[in-house]
Amino acid sequence: MTDWLTEKFPEIKKVGDEPELRPGIVHRLDKDTSGVLVAARNQNAFEFLKNQFQNRNIVKKYLALVEGNLKTDKGTIDLPIGRSKIDFRKKLASEKAKGELREAVTEYKVLERFNVQHSMSNIGSYTLYTLVEVYPKTGRTHQIRVHFKAIGHPIVCDSLYGGKRMTCPYGLKHHFLHANFLEFVSPSGARLKLEADLPEDLSEVLEGLRKK
């Protein structure tokens, strides 16, 4: 990603808080999370956009497929997040977290539920999945993944937070989390709405589940 950006827009090589690592890139997506990512071509634009993220003036939407059946059609997960005492890679939404707990709020809306039977017989086993649209109101590291893990519905195929119940339907190789929408004000004053379609591998998972 950064190689492509610097080749396409060489002026961004000196833009950002850490231009040597993340030239021009205003915000973060977790590794293996697909979707919309914003980059600035000059430092003034970078600071302008960064300020909107910090002040929570950005509208963010994600699509996530989670394990199990989310019984409420809409909900808010309001759980502070801290670092894991055991695994430095992980965050936790519980009193077992290390250090300071930081406010974290995630809203969601159920879009679709799936009940997948694994046997042709009437007594075959089932796997339940729920497709949700997610609206993070804060921007903590791993926030969406940690919050759905905390309520017992981890993101599908999440190797870090999925635990023993992790499943990877239809050969999925990474967690099912996609940043599909961003809305913000550009430095010119225009209100922009950016959308990103699901990548092919995530679309194939949904197509497969819908055929069951």
CATH number at residue 90: 3.30.2350.10
State what percent of residues in the chain have pLDDT above 70.
94
Cβ(65)–Cβ(176) below 8 Å: yes
Amino acid letter at 14? K
Residues 30, 32, 78, 201: which is the catalytic one?
30
Give the per-residue pLDDT at 93: 86
**Where is 77: in which H helix or E strand?**
strand 74-78
The number of distinct structural domains making up the chain is 1
The answer to whether the predicted template modeling score (pTM) of the entire model surpasses 0.75 is yes
Cβ(29)–Cβ(37) below 8 Å: yes
Burial class (CB in 10 A: 0-12, 13-18, 19+), 57: exposed
What is the side-by-side strand order in the sheet with 91-92?
A: 91-92, 81-83, 98-102
Cβ(79)–Cβ(211) below 8 Å: no
The C-alpha R_g of the chain, in whole angstroms, comes to 19
DSSP code for 142: T
Range of the domain at 173: 2-211
Residue pLDDT, tens place only, 178-194: 999 999 999 999 999 99
Give the per-residue pLDDT at 119: 55
Per the structure block, which two tokens stand in for 161?
A: 């937070």
- Output the tens digit of pLDDT for each of the chain's 212 residues: 788 889 999 999 999 999 998 999 999 999 999 999 999 999 999 999 999 999 999 999 999 999 999 999 999 999 999 988 777 788 888 766 767 889 999 999 999 999 887 655 555 567 899 999 999 999 999 999 999 999 999 999 999 999 887 999 999 999 999 999 999 999 999 999 999 999 999 999 999 999 87
Whether 30 is a known active-site residue: answer yes
Question: What CA dihedral angle connects 12, 43, 193 and 143, to 10 degrees?
Answer: 90
